[in-house]
């Protein structure tokens, strides 16, 4: 059947959009609506409307509604939303992407998705549809409203609770059966597009079945959570399938707070910063893992939105655009463990085959802890500048290939066992790394990058970062490292050892901070030594013979691997990208200085 209501083309120059007029009806009546066209241009938007933020739901489970007198198939979740949001006695004007955009017309889809930020920004209200109510939704909403209404109420009923102003009452029993946790695990909270839809909103209301929660109430709930749960209400013990669910709830609270700050400030952020914060979210169309962030990005605009190229092509185009726009290779640190591509083991499943090694796979699903450690490294690497002030020279040689200038500095000679994310308590890995580096046998042996073996080793573990954020490690940090190390080995061999207990009491905050830094720097990585004797922490997939290279525009050295198609007749070097790395003594442009003194020569690297 021809969709006659889409016959009128939308004028891109006028920023025209369609609105859905949801006609009145009773709860069991068929959903009926008509479409009208308006302009979003300044001074033209005279009709107030609301924008719906929702999850499409299963595409296979569609249901019919009536649009302009004809049948139109939508997902059951959307039909449930429209049925619940419909007024009994008057029409309601909404923007709903699945109906207001002709999804079969790729050009219109491209144009309208580019306008989505403006659509949500100019809506009088954004209505969030979380889904149909569950048996415990009423109890959960009551709990949310009560906790948000009085931040002196505790989240857990335990004795001795104190807050500002004196002792406060214990919480109501609203957390049975993980009701609150399940509420915040609904699909809407995990989708990429919903970020922009809330960040752009003037006003927000959350709807779950017949229950509603104003946005300001949700924000007050978050405030209450952080007043109590890190301090007094520490005995919360959600258990879901044997897994402690509290960290997930805390992550959700942090995210709501962050998005609310974005909404109020209306400030945009760099694309890679947004990707670092929200990569754990997901999208039905893998291309939306990029497109869903553009409305909040300060350095990458929505002009690249195009649903015609394939997913691999889209990711490659976006990578080239990001490199070109920001003028450096920071995006390479978002390529997570090359060896885990294509679903072969590792942290994620599935993945997109056929991607060039230098292109991040934004569709890959990773565990939250993996992304958290990756985010730490990405932020830490901002402190370094391995390629000095030499500008990046990027050339797209052919589809799937990227040519970059740089230095072929060294090669991997030996490496240790991987520090697995799944077993972060396994401290004996560090003992094996110390043996590999000859730390205990020859601690004062000169290190190739300056000073001694022991100095280079402990600084490598923490990326030479101090417990005082943003500063280079000092002798005081060396003491914290030593206390951490002796505590780690003594806790495994003799947990009651008096020396260990004494160390715990001394500098406990500093030692804990150093422990967290080392854990974050080494999670999922390997310690390795180069042929020239440099110490490094790099990707799990490194092998002996991998090249240590400085690519101009990169803040870190990179591990590259020669490809099989390399031939003796070919003067250009073809490589695969393996990963970023910390190498002690190469993070501040030392290799570039050797080039400037004539000891090294730059060359072209073709990545595929």
Q: At what angle do helices 498-505 and 508-522 cross, to 10 degrees?
A: 100
Q: Where are the alpha helices (DSSP H) in 303-395?
A: 311-326, 368-380
Supply the DSSP string of 559-589, one letter for each residue.
Answer: EEEE-TT--TT--SEEEEEEEE-EETTSTTS
The pLDDT of residue 558: 98
**Tokens at residue 119, please?**
């659509």
Q: At what angle do helices 368-380 and 508-522 cross, to 10 degrees?
A: 100
Does residue 253 register a pLDDT over 80? yes
Number of other residues whose CB lies within 10 A of the CB of residue 177: 12
pLDDT band of residue 3 (cuts 50, 70, 90) is low
The pLDDT of residue 370: 87
Q: List, for residues 44-54, the tens digit of each pLDDT value.
A: 667 899 999 99
Half-sphere exposure of 451 (CA within 13 A, CB side): 12
Please tell me the least confidently modeled range out of 4-18, 203-217, 330-344, 429-443: 330-344
Rounded Cα distance between 58 and 50, Å, is 24
Does residue 175 register a pLDDT over 80? no
The pLDDT of residue 274: 95
Q: List, for residues 518-530, the tens digit of each pLDDT value.
A: 999 999 999 999 9
pLDDT band of residue 501 (cuts 50, 70, 90) is low
- Structural domain boundaries of the chain? 4-123, 131-265, 425-522
The whole-model pTM stands at 0.88
């Amino acid at each position: 059947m021809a969709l006659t209501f889409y016959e009128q083309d939308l004028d891109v120059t006028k920023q025209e959009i369609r609105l859905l007029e949801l006609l009145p009806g009773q709860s069991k009546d068929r959903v009926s609506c008509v479409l009208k066209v308006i302009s979003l241009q300044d001074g033209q938007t005279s009709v107030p409307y609301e924008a719906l933020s929702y999850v499409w739901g299963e595409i296979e489970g569609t249901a019919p509604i009536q649009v302009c007198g004809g049948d139109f198939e939508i997902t059951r979740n959307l039909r449930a939303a429209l049925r619940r949001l419909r007024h009994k006695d008057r029409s309601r004007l909404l923007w709903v992407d699945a109906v207001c955009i002709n999804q079969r017309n790729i050009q219109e889809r491209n144009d309208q998705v580019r306008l989505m930020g403006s659509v949500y920004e100019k809506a009088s209200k954004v209505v969030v549809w979380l889904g149909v109510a569950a048996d415990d939704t009423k109890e959960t909403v009551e709990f949310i409203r009560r906790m948000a209404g009085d931040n002196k109420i505790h989240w857990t009923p335990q004795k001795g609770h104190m807050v500002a102003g004196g002792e406060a009452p214990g919480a109501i029993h609203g957390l049975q059966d993980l009701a609150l946790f399940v509420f915040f695990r609904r699909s809407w909270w995990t989708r990429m597009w919903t970020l922009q839809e809330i960040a752009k909103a003037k006003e927000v209301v959350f709807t779950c079945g017949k229950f509603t929660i104003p946005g300001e109430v949700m924000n007050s709930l978050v405030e209450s959570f952080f007043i109590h749960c890190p301090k007094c209400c520490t005995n919360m013990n959600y258990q879901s399938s044997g897994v402690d669910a509290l960290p997930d709830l805390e992550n959700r609270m942090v995210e709501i707070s962050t998005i609310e700050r974005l909404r109020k400030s209306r400030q945009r952020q760099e694309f890679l910063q947004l990707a670092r914060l929200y990569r754990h979210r997901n999208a039905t169309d893998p291309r939306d893992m990029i497109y869903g962030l553009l409305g909040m990005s300060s350095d990458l605009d929505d002009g690249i939105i195009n649903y015609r190229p394939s997913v691999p092509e889209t990711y490659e185009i976006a990578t080239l655009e990001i490199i070109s726009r920001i003028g450096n290779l920071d995006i390479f640190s978002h390529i997570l463990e090359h060896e885990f591509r294509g679903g072969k083991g590792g942290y994620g499943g599935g993945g997109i085959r056929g991607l060039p090694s230098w292109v991040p796979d934004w569709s890959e699903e990773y565990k939250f802890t993996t992304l958290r450690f990756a985010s730490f490294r990405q932020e830490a690497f901002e402190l370094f500048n391995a390629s000095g002030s030499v500008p990046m020279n990027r050339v797209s040689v052919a589809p799937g290939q990227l040519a970059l200038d740089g230095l072929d500095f060294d090669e991997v000679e030996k490496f240790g066992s991987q520090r697995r994310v799944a077993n972060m308590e396994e401290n004996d890995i560090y003992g094996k790394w110390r043996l590999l580096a000859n730390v205990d046998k020859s601690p004062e042996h000169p290190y190739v990058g300056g000073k001694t073996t022991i100095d280079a080793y402990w600084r490598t573990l923490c990326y030479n970062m101090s417990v005082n954020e943003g500063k280079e490690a000092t002798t005081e940090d060396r003491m914290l490292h030593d206390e951490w190390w002796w505590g780690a080995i003594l806790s495994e061999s003799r947990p009651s050892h008096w020396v260990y207990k004494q160390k715990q009491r001394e500098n406990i905050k500093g030692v804990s901070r150093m422990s967290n830094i080392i854990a974050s720097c080494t999670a999922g990585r390997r310690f390795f030594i180069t042929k020239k004797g440099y110490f490094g922490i790099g990707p799990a997939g490194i092998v002996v013979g991998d090249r240590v290279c400085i690519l101009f525009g990169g803040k870190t050295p990179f591990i590259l691997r020669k490809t099989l198609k390399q031939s003796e007749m070919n003067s250009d070097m073809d490589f695969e990208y393996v990963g970023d790395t910390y190498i002690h003594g190469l993070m501040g442009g030392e290799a570039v200085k050797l080039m400037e003194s004539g000891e090294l020569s730059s060359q072209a690297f073709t990545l595929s």
